[in-house]
Structure 1
């Protein structure tokens, strides 16, 4: 699974960035960055909605129950790691990515594990007993990005056309 989706480094973005730097318009650059970020926000929201909707059924064995070793909700924690970054330097563009640094240490690989459809974890924190939860490979990242990237690219192209028109 790719760890990020990027729309950057195209010749149009680089050329436009140079022209804006030459024009010296910081307000114009800020406006473009804000609009590019807004173009990426629907994809970020779709990814967050997608990961919170993933179903992870139990292993099929009867559970004895007991308190969870953590109180944090797994899917919402993972959704909080989906980030957007906008760059305006030599390689301008937008990137939607999973920030592993914002995730707790024990679930840093969980987004990719869930994408594959197999989750192994200790039973209530007991590292001597492990459980495997199977889910249909959700494609929560790949399907969502495949559906959202064309919309994001079209919006970035529209922003570039508007900025190019303002510079002329």
Structure 2
């Protein structure tokens, strides 16, 4: 399952210890909120990327039947809705942008997104496990989107950590 984490273990762990010792609950919640805000553009960009991701099929062989999808749910929109942010300040503090498998419909496995990131999605035709097809996407779309946002997020989290550490000193 693709996910992205920003973890500055040393700085964040030390800052978390100092916040607990000082008893600054409002500063800690403010820090969580600011780290979440730093991760929101990445989540939004990943959602937009997956919604607009071009997918082409391998096509039908001559003489094969086709037809409309038996589900009315858009595949890429379902995946976009499952992209979430998690901010932790406990044992391993940091921000994580990930695909929440609990929010995916039961017929979409988490491995489908990993396959899409690799450029090919292989799946049964309308759920028929005896007939399979391939769909193709640009490869590494998740990784490229994350790489574009990494410098900005790292700088933003470092600024949040510096601001919070100055406030509790």
Taking structure 1 as the reference length, the TM-score comes to: 0.90
Partner of 2:104: 103
What is the alpha-carbon distance in structure 1 between the residues aligned to residue 137 and residue 17 of structure 2?
Answer: 48
Aligned residues: 166
RMSD over aligned Cα atoms: 1.8
| 3-state secondary structure, aligned to 2:69 | coil
**TM-superposition CA deviations, 1:50-91 (whole Å, max 9, x none):** 111211112233674423121110001001111111111122
Q: Identify the range of structure 1 (122-131 vs 146-155) with the bigger mean alpha-carbon deviation.
A: 122-131
Give the equivalent residue in structure 1 for 2:135.
133
Distance between the aligned counterparts of 2:136 and 2:93, measured in 1?
40
CA contact (8 A) 2:116 2:136 kept: no
The corresponding residue for 1:60 is 59
Instruction: Report if the CA contact (8 A) 2:82-2:101 is conserved.
Output: yes
Any runs of at least 4 consecutive aligned residues in structure 1 with deviations exceeding 4 A, and if so which? none
Q: What does residue 122 of structure 1 align with?
A: 124
- SS of residue in 1 equivalent to 2:56: coil
User: Which residue does 1:163 correspond to in 2?
Assistant: 164
Task: Give unmatched runs, 5+ long, in structure 1.
Answer: none
Segment drifting more, 36-45 vs 126-135:
126-135
Runs (5+) with no aligned partner, structure 2: none
Do the aligned residues in 1 keep the contact of 2:86 with 2:96 (CA within 8 Å)?
yes
Deviating more after overlay: 93-102 vs 127-136? 127-136
| TM-score after normalising by structure 2 | 0.89
Once the two structures are overlaid, the 10-residue window that deviates more, 124-133 or 103-112, is 124-133
